[in-house]
Amino acid sequence: MRSGAVVRTLALATAFAAFSGSALAAVRTDRPAIAFVPLDDRPVTYQLPIMLGEIAGQPLRTPPRAAIGNYLTPGDPDAILRWLRDDDADGVSALVASSDMLAYGGLVAARIPGVPVERAMQRLRDLADVRSARAIPYVGVFGTIMRLAPTGVPRLGLATSYYAAGQTVDDLQAYANLPDPPATDAERARATHLRALIGEPTLDAYLHTRARNLDVDQWALQLAAEGGFDRIVIGQDDAGTVGLHLRDLAALRAFAGRWLSPERASIEPGADELGMILTGAALAHTAHLVPRIRVRYSRPGA
């Protein structure tokens, strides 16, 4: 996660805690918990949202630790869905969930082939069904648009059979960063050269994964439009101003703009901080608070 994103996330959390003041400062053990499904097990995605709940006096209830996975070992979406159906997740005031964790097993797992699109979509449908079965008052879902580079791993240990590792990751990133489609002879020649270095099977797997994730993100937006989720945020994971992701962004923005209001759906930068942001939104919703935020930039170009 970039340092700027960390600063922004911590600033948002601090601002929320300061804003809430006496309304949330007193810790109440009788306050209903919020069920929280993290993006993965890193501190910024797992621990900080829990700490934000502690600041607000509203506990976060998370899935069993083993179901969240770790790095190249994906989480267990089906175990998490069983947990959500359990009595342990009953009576919560809100649910905040990562669609990447529930569809694929986390952020790293979302960048690799393996989970069929139909299975990923069914899991998100199951999440929407949990909402109605449990009569959960507020459900916020956050997902990501796949970043341009696969997860950078050496071909060692768990990554020995990884579909893209070592130099192939750099070559895929270079290919994905080209204009889509390449606009000049030099760009077209560069694309041809990179395709040869990567190999068609690996490139096809990468492009298929991107296409699958786009379909699943659109499905999540559709479920929100149908009332399965109250709020959905889809963040663009690491990417620049040029590349394969621009088509994905355009398609998702068009879909969201047609079927959902800006208050219910947004497509924006970010990935790791989205769990914190939607946890803050759930806390504000359950406390009937509407934060007022003012942005000050450190320099005109910011």
- Find the radius of gyration of the CA atoms of the chain: 20
**Residue 30's pLDDT is what?**
62
* Contact between residue 40 and residue 77 where contact means Cβ atoms under 8 Å apart: no
Q: Record the tokens describing residue 160, joined without a space.
A: 């020995």
**Residue 19's pLDDT is what?**
47
**Residue 87's pLDDT is what?**
74
**Residue 6's pLDDT is what?**
45
- CB count within 10 Å of CB 252 equals 21
Q: What is the mean pLDDT of each run of 10 residues along the chain (302 residues)?
A: 46 47 46 94 97 94 96 96 87 96 98 97 97 93 97 88 92 97 97 98 97 98 97 96 96 97 95 96 91 88 78
Nearest CA to 128 out of 213, 222, 229 is that of 229
**Residue 10's pLDDT is what?**
46
Whether the full predicted model's pTM is greater than 0.95, yes or no, is no
* Contact between residue 155 and residue 220 where contact means Cβ atoms under 8 Å apart: no
Q: Which residues, 6 or more positions from 95, have their beta carbon under 8 angstroms from its beta carbon? A: 34, 35, 36, 37, 84, 130, 131, 136, 138, 139, 140
Distance CA 227, CA 128 (A): 8
Distance CA 235, CA 270 (A): 5
